[in-house]
Amino acid sequence: MAFGYAFTLPDGREPVKRRALRRMVSILYATALRSASRVFFLNGDDIDEFTRSHLVSPKKAFLLGGIGVELEKWPPAPPVTRPVTFILAARLLREKGIVEYAKAARLVKSRHPEARFILLGGLDSNPGALSREEVESWADDVEWPGHVPDVRPWLNQPGPK
């Protein structure tokens, strides 16, 4: 489960439509989960939010750890010291911290111009999605190859260019 768009406030603001959506989604969650004997979460922050908001009892909430990653396909890569490379693989949504990543890239590169910041992810139709123009405006600081089918080659620094 995830809160997503309805529960993430852009820049700390809460537009009226989003507040109404959040209330409606909360009612739906509370109704749907009331009769559940167990509710499984992939994210500890979601458990905290659901229990704090009284959408689910802490006794019913269970965290599943480490699902979806086949560790034999993701062996540790040998460390590379230069250039230091930061990689973010995510949907290009404001609530995923993409704007903050770009701001961090600008700040770090002002002091360490050799550092690399790579953003892996395609454009999205979600209401919280970033525009192509916004992402491309970060070109001096962030490399953006767009959606990639497999992130593993990028994790072996320095990665494709």
Segment 114-141, tens digit of pLDDT: 999 999 999 988 888 999 999 999 999 9
Q: What is the pLDDT of residue 152?
A: 86
Is 92 among the domain residues?
yes
Where b means 16+ CB within 10 Å and e means fewer, 24-43 reads: ebbeebeeebeeeeebebee
Q: What is the pLDDT of residue 9?
A: 65
Same domain, 126 and 97: yes
Same domain, 119 and 52: no
18 phi and psi angles, rounded to 5 deg: -70, -35
Q: What is the pLDDT of residue 1?
A: 43
Cβ-based neighbours of 144, under 8 Å, separated by 6 or more: 118, 119, 135, 136, 138
The CATH number of the domain holding residue 111 is 3.40.50.2000
Q: Is 54 left (phi over 0), alpha (psi -120 to 50) or beta?
A: left
Is 5 among the domain residues?
no
Is 161 among the domain residues?
no
Q: CA–CA separation, 1 vs 60, rounded Å?
A: 14
Is 20 among the domain residues?
yes
* Reported pTM: 0.57
Q: What is the pLDDT of residue 2?
A: 46
pLDDT in tens, 10-38: 666 667 887 788 888 888 888 888 889 99
Q: What is the pLDDT of residue 106?
A: 97
Domain with 119 in it? 72-156
Residue spans of beta strands (DSSP E) within 78-157:
85-89, 116-120, 143-146
pLDDT in tens, 64-108: 876 666 777 777 777 666 788 899 999 999 888 999 999 999 999
Domain count, the chain: 2
| Of residues 28 and 159, more confidently modeled | 28
Q: CA–CA separation, 120 vs 135, rounded Å?
A: 11
